Every structure is written in C-alpha cells, then in structure tokens.
Structure 1
Amino acid sequence: MKATQPSALPWLLASALVITLDQWSKAWVLASLPEHTAVPVIDGFWNWYRTYNTGAAFSFLADAGGWQQWFFIVLAFAISGVLVWMLARTPRGDWKQALPLALVIGGALGNVIDRFLHGHVIDFIQWYVGTHYWPAFNIADSAVVCGAVGLALASGLVPVKSKPTVKP
C-alpha cells in the first residue's frame, strides 16, 4: 500500500499572511491618505493614490449598477474553493505549486473582505511613467498576479530556459 504524502494545506498560512498584510495596508490607507490625491513616493514612477474599485481588474464592470459586487464575491469564493481543493491534493513540499495557489487564495479573499466591508475594493498603489498610468492596485491584487504567474511557470505554460548540462 502506498503511503500518502501530507497535503499542502499548511500553505494556507501564506494566504492568511497576504490577507493580514492587505487589510493592514488598507486600514493605513483609509486612516492616512486623502482620496483621489497623488502622494509621491518616487517622482515620475510611484504614488500612493487612494481610490476605489467596484469592478474587477482594470475596473471591469465597475459601472454595472451594483450586482457585480455579489458576482465578484461569489466568483472569488468559488475560485478559492477550487484552489483550496487543489492545495489539498498538492504534496506539502511542492512549494512551486503550493505557494502560488496560496497567494491567489489570499489575494482573492483580501479583496472579498473589502467588498463585504466597504462595497468596493480599496486601491492605493499607482505606478506611472510620464503621462502613462497603470491602474491603481493593492497588495491583494499583487498576490493574485504573482500567484497566477507562479502557476503558469509551475505548469510549464511559460517555458523557462535551463542551463545546458555538460556531459563528461
């Protein structure tokens, strides 16, 4: 009989860390930053900029009338549930799979908390070059993107060049 390996569910602690950092940063933003006013961090590249998003990435469906808040909450819970199931089936030592899953879960749930508490997501990191601005984002958004990139790398969707092996 084959012994089962412990699952990667303890990696949910990374999800909890993402949620904690995300919510802490948003509490700081609400207490410290003025709304819709750029506060330069690095001139010509990075501002703190408190804004709100009722939609999804790049304000997708932001003006949909309110139903989208519940749609994105249900979607985030459904995706997080699938990812927790995947994490439970991942060997604990497979950090290349487990960490990205945990990051996406933490980021998705961090933004769900905002939707429940405020009816929108709080964004505050603004990057730009000249007059070209990237849409404002937050720590939860960053975790989702990093997790998605990590999953793509781990699955082989993005080829990674390896060093050639030297044969004796």
Structure 2
Amino acid sequence: MSNIPLKQSGVRWLWLAIVIFIADIAIKLVVMDNMGYGWPNRIEILPFFNLLYVHNYGAAFSFLSDQAGWQRWLFTGIAFAVTAMLTYWMSKLPSSDKWNNIAYAMIIGGAVGNVFDRVVHGFVVDYLDFFWGNYHWPAFNLADSTICVGAAMIILDGFSSKEKSKA
C-alpha cells in the first residue's frame, strides 16, 4: 500500500457505506413502526421467507445474546475498531481498486448500521427470516447482509490474488 492523495484514495467509496447505513436504518424504522413484534406478527412473503420483527441483543446468530448487557459495548467497540481499520486501508488503496473498496464500504456501512441500533436501542433490529421446513436461519437484516457480502468479497479477492501471484 502506498501513499495516495486522499482525493484519489479508496475513501472516496465511503459514499457507499453512507448509502448502506441510511438504507439499513430506514428499513429498520419502517419495520419497528409498522410491524408487531415476534413470531405471531410475521408477514409470510414466500414459502421459505417471512418478514419478522425481532431484537438481537448479541452478535451474529444471537451469539452472547443471553448475557447481562456487557456484550452490547464489546460489539460496539469491535465495530468501531473494524471501521477504523477498514477506513485506514481504504485510504491506502487507489479509488480505482473498486472490488476491495466496495467490500470495505459494505462492511463499514453494515457495521455502523448495527452499531447505531446497539447504541440507540440497546439491541439490533432483525427482520429477514429464511427457513426450510421447520428449520429457520437466525433472523438478520440488511446490515448483516452487506457485512457478509463484503467479507466474502475480501475472501474471494484473497484467493484470486494468490492465483495471480502463482501465475
């Protein structure tokens, strides 16, 4: 990573993180204002998908959700650290490195969206419920989706970078 003028660096892609953050918060507000809480109030969309308003006090897959509340601040701190690290990495990348900058911006936008929920509400609002038969994937949201897609993009880039360096 080299020293790139800020205007030509990957931080120019932070607009995408802002769009993801705004969309995530807007959807969550619509869900909170218009849906009843919990399973009885689900909206059946497809044979394998519901809209379902639930609170997640933990992290992915409700990890540590049964704890006393300290996890809220742990996950907030982790999100701030990851956001700072990815923003720094973006500042070292040229804005033309679209793949990595998009991946980092997706993770940042999602992380900040979930941090907003943790700080303002004390929990993350989840609303996407996919299932097969009686097996339900843990409910999630747009922020979770963009974090996962961004992380997958980074992993794929790591594999393609290794292939390029072998060639």
- Give the TM-score, by structure 2 length: 0.90
Q: Does 1:41 align with 2:45?
A: yes
- In structure 2, the partner of 1:13 is 15
Q: Which has the larger radius of gyration?
A: 1
Q: CA deviation at 1:64?
A: 1.2
Q: CA deviation at 1:50?
A: 0.3
Q: Distance in 1 between matches of 2:137 and 2:128?
A: 9
Change (3 A) 1:11 1:63: same
Change (3 A) 1:67 1:158: farther
- In structure 2, the partner of 1:92 is 95
Q: CA deviation at 1:132?
A: 1.1
- In structure 1, the partner of 2:142 is 139
**Is the 1:152–1:158 contact (alpha carbons within 8 Å) kept by the matching residues of 2?**
no
Q: Distance in 2 between matches of 1:158 and 1:94?
A: 13
Q: CA RMSD in A?
A: 1.9
Q: Distance in 2 between matches of 1:70 and 1:96?
A: 31
Alignment of 1:1-168 (within 5 A): 4=4, 6-36=8-38, 37-42=41-46, 44-156=47-159
Aligned residues: 158
The superposition leaves residues 81-129 of structure 1 with CA deviations (integer Å, 9 ceiling, x where unpaired) of 0000011111101111100000000000000000111000000000011
**Is the 2:72–2:123 contact (alpha carbons within 8 Å) kept by the matching residues of 1?**
yes
Instruction: Report which of the two has the higher share of helix.
Output: 2
Q: Distance in 1 between matches of 2:96 and 2:23?
A: 24
- In structure 2, the partner of 1:166 is none
Identity %: 34
Q: Distance in 2 between matches of 1:49 and 1:114?
A: 17
Task: Structure 1: state its 5+ residue gaps.
Answer: 161-168
